[in-house]
Amino acid sequence: MKNRIFFNFLGLILLCVLLTSVSVSLLAHNVGKRQEIAAIRDRAVLAADLLNSSADGSDYVDYYNHRAETARITIIAPDGTVLLDNKADASLMENHAGREEFIQATESGSGEITRFSETLREETYYYAVLLDNGNVLRVSKNTGKINTVFDAVMPGIAAVAVLILILAAMLARRLAKNILAPLNWIDFTGENIAAYDELVPYMKKIDRQKREINAQITALEEKAGTIEAIMTNMREGVLLLDRNQMILMANKSVSEFIGGGIDYTGKSILEAVRAVDFTECVKKAFSGERCSLTTITGRRAAEIFFSPVKSCGKVDGLIILFFDVTEKYESEKQRREFSANVSHELKTPLTSISGLSELLENNMVKAEDVSGFGAKISKQAKRLINIINDIIKLSEFDEAKADKEKEIFELYALAESVINAFPANSKGVKINLSGSRFDVSANRLMLDELLVNLIDNGVKYNKDGGTVTVSLLRGYGFYKIIVEDTGIGIPREHHNRIFERFYRIDKSRCKKTGGTGLGLSIVKHIAEHHGGRVELVSTEGEGTSVSCLFTI
């Protein structure tokens, strides 16, 4: 308000100063112009008198030739031919018979006009006088020089205007301050209301309303604080709807269940959640029935309960509770998958063992084939034992019972022993070792098993005559084990799942190679057990690289 009053005062004074300055400037300009035009006329009359009295007027013309900057003199013959001009070559000038000032002079003895001069390329004032010999004397001067007086006055006018504006700004600020001072001193407590008399009733009313509002705010803040503390610290999501299905309140946990990460307060529940089953439960709850559902969004599972809030027998709102059951859902899912996979994996060798044993038991095998059947039973039994051992190892990792004892040993020597103990393969795959020698603090048996699983995969899924390269690298604060092969590679769509238990890209190939589908899962658990991580880089048909990064 202070600025508004100040600028109103200042604007009014500025308008007055501008109007005054413009008026004075125009007045000074008109006075100067009239004086200069009068001087040109007097000069033209004097020149005409001198020319009329002189035999040929050459003296006066010569004088103006030397003072050419004062004015322009032109003598024009009765037919309009230019006889003399002190600022241009008369022989090159066009006929002036059609010039307005020339016509006026020949008709009435004198003439004047202001127009643009093609010769001087400036706006020029012309005054013409008829001489006794019939010629016309014309004196002219450009308006820029006529405005010289006005230009001389303008700085003074501008300086006075600026000074007035500065004083006006100071005065306007002081007036605005004085006007608003009583309003700034108003005491709304009611103890001192001696401001402007016209404001007294409003001040009393404002004071009364302020007291009522403060009391209501205090009560609301206490309630809101209690509710907010409860809602904020709840892990469960709480959503309150009014009778029009508009969201009255939603705590932070709600956004974790329905997504979006926005404040849903004041929005329709149909706008926030558009799932069909959710909408059906909302309608059912508003009809007076309780409802519940389990929903799964991506990897997140939730149980949702819809409870109607009734008032006088009518549904006045709705409370919706969200309970996170993701862990329960994932555990149940993993249990089912694990049970199914284990049953499947154990069933295959057991079926073979059972079938072969039954043949032997019923003497349905030739004597010379008994040893072969025994070898097959032994192979399937070993496979069964390997699966069970791998399952036990994973169970130990899941239950945090894996051996945590560490020792200091040379990693390069461990890798050498693993490679040297590796059985020969029919594919002619070569196993190479590179890197530097350094000591690590880790569980020797686990890293031994990690290397065995990675190298075994590299050999099994390699091409004939391929290579498996084990690289040991050490950096500042970490060391890395890299096993690369030149094998069949892993398609990109399987990269995210290759470390899952019992996950196989080609089940028929795994059966031929005797894999359990648990090797890479064990590798991942060993790396994580040591605080590391596993990275996979693979291109189908070109090979695979598995890197295990450990921090020191």
pLDDT of residue 484: 92
Point out the residues of the chain with pLDDT beneath 70: 1-7, 9-10, 28-29, 32, 54-70, 117-121, 143-154, 176, 179-200, 228, 231-233, 259-262, 297-299, 330-349, 373, 379-380, 382-404, 501-517
Neighbouring CB atoms inside 10 A of 417's CB total 12
Q: Which amino acid, one-letter code, is at 539?
A: T
Going from the C-alpha of 68 to that of each of 129, 130, 384, the distances in angstroms are: 19, 22, 126
State which H helix or E strand residue 547 sits in: strand 543-551
Per-state percent for the chain, helix, strand, coil, to nearest 5: 50, 20, 25
Give the integer Cα–Cα distance in Å for 326 and 304.
Answer: 13
What is the set of domains in the chain, with CATH numbers?
A: 2-151 (3.30.450.20), 186-233 (no CATH), 235-324 (3.30.450.20), 329-395 (1.10.287.130), 403-551 (3.30.565.10)
DSSP symbols for 108-145: HSEEEEEEEETTTTEEEEEEEEE-TTS-EEEEEEEHHH
pLDDT of residue 270: 78
Give the integer Cα–Cα distance in Å for 155 and 21.
Answer: 11
pLDDT of residue 427: 81
Among candidate residues 132, 136, 83, the one with its CA nearest the CA of residue 111: 136
* Start-end of H helices in 109-234: 143-146, 148-184, 200-232
* Residue 125 CB-density burial (10 A; 0-12 exposed, 13-18 middle, 19+ buried): buried
Q: Using one digit for the tens of pLDDT, what is the confidence trace for 187-210?
A: 655 555 555 666 667 777 777 888
